[in-house]
Amino acid sequence: MIPNDSLDTHSAHPVDHEQPDKPEEACGVFGVYAPGEDVAKLAYFGLYALQHRGQESAGIATFEGDKVHLHKDMGLVSQVFNETLLKDLRGYIAVGHTRYSTTGSSRVVNAQPAVVETRLGYLALAHNGNLVNTGELREELTQREFDFLTTTDSEMIALAIASEVNNGKDWLEGALSAFNLCQGAYSLVIGTPKGLMGVRDPNGIRPLVIGTLPTNPKRYVLASETCGLDIIGAEYLRDVEPGELVWITEEGMASFHWSPKPARKLCVFEMIYFARPDSVMCGESLYSYRMEIGRVLARESLVDADIVIGVPDSGIPAAIGFSQQSGIPFAEGLIKNRYVGRTFIQPTQSMREAGIRMKLNPLKDVLEGKRVIIVDDSIVRGTTSRKIVKALRDAGATEVHMRISSPPVTHPCFYGIDTDTQDQLIAATKSIEEIRQQIEVDTLAYLSWEGMLKATREDPNTFCSACFTGNYPIEIPETVKRSKLMLEKTAKV
Active site positions, annotated:
27
Whole-Å CA distances, 144 to 115, 166, 170 = 18, 11, 18
Quote the distance between the C-alpha of residue 260 and its chain's center: 27
- Number of residues in the chain: 493
State how beta strands 184-191 and 121-131 pair.
antiparallel
SS3 of residue 338 by DSSP = coil
Kindly calculate the radius of gyration of the chain based on its CA atoms and give it in whole angstroms.
23
Q: Please name which of 379, 392, 384, 400 lies closest in space to residue 467, comparing C-alpha atoms.
A: 379
Cα-Cα-Cα-Cα dihedral of 85, 90, 91, 93, to 10°? Answer: 0
Backbone φ and ψ for 239, nearest 5 degrees, come out as -80, 150
Residue 478 burial by CB count (10 A; 0-12/13-18/19+): exposed, middle or buried? exposed
* Cα–Cα distance, 398 to 415 (Å, whole number): 41
Backbone φ and ψ for 305, nearest 5 degrees, come out as -160, 175
Quote the distance between the C-alpha of residue 473 and its chain's center: 18
* Cα–Cα distance, 134 to 219 (Å, whole number): 34
Backbone φ and ψ for 292, nearest 5 degrees, come out as -65, -40
- Count of H-run helices and E-run strands, the chain: 18, 25
SS3 of residue 313 by DSSP = coil
Residue 62 is inside which H or E element, if any? Answer: strand 57-64
Q: List, in order, residues 6 or more apart from 380 with CB less than 8 Å away.
A: 21, 22, 23, 409, 419, 420, 425, 426
CB 402 within 8 A of CB 389: yes
